[in-house]
Homo-oligomer: A and B are copies of this chain.
Amino acid sequence: MALVGEFPLIARVVARAGTARLADVGPGDDAAVVRTPDGRVVVCTDVLVEGRHFRRDWSSGRDVGHKAAAANLADVAAMGAVPTALLVGLACPADTPVGWLEEVAEGMAAECAPSGAAVVGGDTSASAPDSAAVVLSVTALGDLEGRPPVLRSGARPGDVVALAGRLGWSAAGYALFRAGAVAGAGDGPAALVVRAHRRPEPPYGAGPAGARAGATSMCDVSDGLLADAGHLAAASGVVLDLDRAALAGPGAGPPLAAVAAALGVDPLGWVLTGGEDHALVGTFPPGARLPEGWSVVGRVVDGAPGVLLDGVAAEQVARELQPGGAAAGDTVGRGTGHEHFR
């Protein structure tokens, strides 16, 4: 088996990176050059740490590549932008199989390809001397296509709260892994949520579509709906009052109920606190016509900034659901962000 230490790694990974439509200069120079048609660039970074965000025995290299790209591409979408390029900072042990890293590159390329983006640069290093873990730090660039960015701070009382994408699927898949369930093939509920844990399917198109439809605020759900809706509420200085019945609908879907029943838990815990599906939560002016993929899950009201579920404080709801959901102290399967340090 070929190991990283034996090969010029960057060339092998780059060979699988694809080509970014807007790249003037791709990998291989001191820096890449990417065109920015409207004179601005959207840019964000997400860190994925082995043993925190993925496990090599649970996910293939391709899965990790898809997941690392998706976490960043979803942030770009949450600004209302379309992705144009990725860069990858990688620390990995010298005995990492080259084939595994080639798979990571292929997964990233595949996740980017539909949008015309690709990996345009990066850097690699050996892991820290005390560590056998892979650390990936991915940076995504995006294009706002002339639109203003959709910020977290624009929600106003009277707006509707809407959701695009799945909630809780990744957390349900994680719960199955933790329960020792073997991931089956096929399209049964267990296979679907395990696949969702390995490779999120963010609703990329819903970001720009939401922006075009006049979204007043938007946010990627990576730390769990309650947490991320809380970030939006805080930034906007408003209350988001979410509707429990609506949340049990489109974003959750039948597989979640089936898996929850099998494990004897309430699926609402996964829906409210599960991260990493990278749904988008946004707010729209009253009367706005929501684009395809978005559905109303609550409303924006005045008050001390926070999140309510059917009028009850979200913290209280989350506490009650904790035993059935993914525990806050868990590492693998949690979203990114400052919560890792708690």
Please tell me which one of the listed residues B44, B125, B128, B338 contacts residue A10 in the complex, with CB atoms under 8 A apart.
B338
Q: Which residues of B are found within 8 Å of A122, using beta-carbon distances?
A: 45
Indicate with 1 or 0, residue by residue over A81-108, a CB within 8 angstroms of chain B CB atoms.
1000101111100100000000000000
Residue pair B41, A34 in contact (C-beta under 8 Å)? yes
Report B-chain residues with C-beta under 8 Å of the C-beta of A45.
87-89, 121-123, 137, 139
Cβ of A303 within 8 Å of any chain B Cβ, yes or no, is no
User: A219 near B: Cβ within 8 Å?
Assistant: yes
Q: Which residues of B contact A46 (CB under 8 A)?
A: 89, 123
Counted per complex, copies of this chain come to 2
Known contacts A9-B338, A129-B52, A137-B47; A36/B41 CB under 8 A: yes
Contacts A85-B43, A125-B53, A341-B4 given; does A33 touch B331 at CB 8 Å: no
Closest-by-CB residue of B relative to A31 is B44
Cα distance A30–B37 in the bound complex, in angstroms: 21
Complex: how many Å from CA A130 to CA B91?
Answer: 14
Judged by a CB distance under 8 angstroms, whether A35 is at the interface is: yes
| Interface pair A51/B141, CB less than 8 Å apart | no
Complex CA distance for A291 and B31, rounded to whole angstroms: 22
Q: A64 CB to closest chain B CB, in angstroms?
A: 14
> Given contacts A128-B135, A131-B131, A331-B129, is CB(A151)–CB(B29) below 8 Å?
yes
Known A-B contacts A128-B50, A128-B135, A338-B124; A43 and B32 likewise in contact (beta carbons under 8 Å): yes
- How far, in whole Å, are A126 and B329 apart by their CA atoms in the complex? 12
Known: A41-B34, A121-B44, A341-B5. A52 touches B89 (CB 8 A): no
**Of A72-80, A166-174, A243-251, A265-273, the one touching chain B:** A72-80
Question: Is A213 engaged at the interface, CB distance under 8 Å to the other chain?
Answer: no
Is A336 a contact of B123 with CB atoms below 8 Å?
yes
Q: Are the C-beta atoms of B219 and A47 separated by less than 8 Å? A: no
Given contacts A40-B34, A132-B130, A235-B28, contact A47 B91 (CB under 8 A): yes
Pick from A28, A31, A85 the residue with the most CB of B within 10 Å: A31
Contact A126 B340 (CB under 8 A): yes
Tell me the minimal C-beta distance from A191 to chain B in angstroms. 28
B43 touching A31 by the CB < 8 A rule? yes
B-chain residues with CB within 8 Å of residue A36 when the two chains form the complex: 36, 39-41
Q: A7-B341, A135-B137 are in contact. List 17 more A-B contacts (CB 8 A).
A: A9-B338, A29-B149, A29-B152, A32-B42, A33-B40, A33-B79, A37-B39, A43-B85, A43-B141, A44-B123, A45-B88, A46-B123, A47-B90, A51-B130, A89-B139, A124-B337, A129-B133
